[in-house]
Copies of this chain bind each other. A is one copy, B any other.
């Protein structure tokens, strides 16, 4: 699939990230490097490189000579992450709608189809496909740094979605919104795309605030 050769460290980044997002590792006690390395069948060096990258992403923090801890979740962080997405993502997605090629269109449609196929199962991976869909919509905007920031924000926000929104079966409504968004995006209706993304994120913020009991 991937034409570029992926180094072991890069693979570990995705693997450990998914573990953290799945909530497998608890927020409080440290990550045992040796144990995790042994469990994954690799050595410590590539694992440490992966952890260093994840620390830059903001998912974990390291205390010298004490180890890596997954960053604690907080209502304020959730608020900040979604505020930032609200600031950046609508504009980027709208721009991408204007610049998208036929290949991008096909890719976005495929991604949403995959999202549908896994939603029913309510299993793992829903968040990952959700991320992939939104990513497919803003990637063609042609702004590498913006894309990078948005991807980071998506990762940080996913924990809150998984913890507070997924149990409520909020997927149904999200899917309708996704479908509507995709149609506008494919039609290159930039203004409508921006508005929809803004509404989508805004709604998520509201739901989160309700859950977090503000």
Provide the bound-state CA to CA distance between A87 and B146, in Å: 11
Chain B residues with Cβ under 8 A from A65's Cβ?
A: 5, 7
Measured between C-beta atoms, what is the minimum distance from A187 to chain B in Å? 26
Surface stretch bound by B, among A44-52, A114-122, A132-140, A163-171:
A44-52
Provide the bound-state CA to CA distance between A145 and B157, in Å: 12
> What is the count of identical protomers in the complex?
2
Measured between C-beta atoms, what is the minimum distance from A197 to chain B in Å? 16
Surface stretch bound by B, among A56-64, A104-112, A173-181, A206-214:
A56-64
Chain A 147-198 residues near chain B, CB threshold 8 A? 148-149, 153, 156
Does A84 touch B at the CB level, under 8 Å?
yes
Chain B residues with Cβ under 8 A from A53's Cβ?
A: 52-53, 55-56
Measured between C-beta atoms, what is the minimum distance from A149 to chain B in Å? 6
CB closest chain-B residue, reference A5 = B64
Ordered by A's residue number, 11 sampled pairs between the chains whose C-beta atoms are within 8 Å are A7-B62, A9-B52, A45-B48, A49-B49, A52-B53, A56-B56, A58-B145, A77-B144, A77-B145, A80-B143, A145-B153
Chain B residues with Cβ under 8 A from A143's Cβ?
A: 80
**Interface SS of A by simple majority:** helix
Provide the bound-state CA to CA distance between A176 and B145, in Å: 31
Does A1 touch B at the CB level, under 8 Å?
no
Measured between C-beta atoms, what is the minimum distance from A64 to chain B in Å? 4
Measured between C-beta atoms, what is the minimum distance from A30 to chain B in Å? 15
Interface string of A5-37 (1 = CB under 8 A from B): 111011000000000000000000000000000
Chain B residues with Cβ under 8 A from A149's Cβ?
A: 84, 149
Given the known A-B contacts A52-B52, A56-B57, are A80 and B146 also in contact in the complex, defined by CB atoms under 8 Å?
yes
Closest 6 CB pairs of A and B: A56-B56, A5-B64, A49-B52, A7-B64, A80-B143, A52-B52
Does A88 touch B at the CB level, under 8 Å?
yes
Chain B residues with Cβ under 8 A from A62's Cβ?
A: 7
Q: Is the CB of B80 within 8 A of A145?
A: yes
Question: Which of B6, B49, B56, B84 makes the CB contact (< 8 A) with A145?
Answer: B84
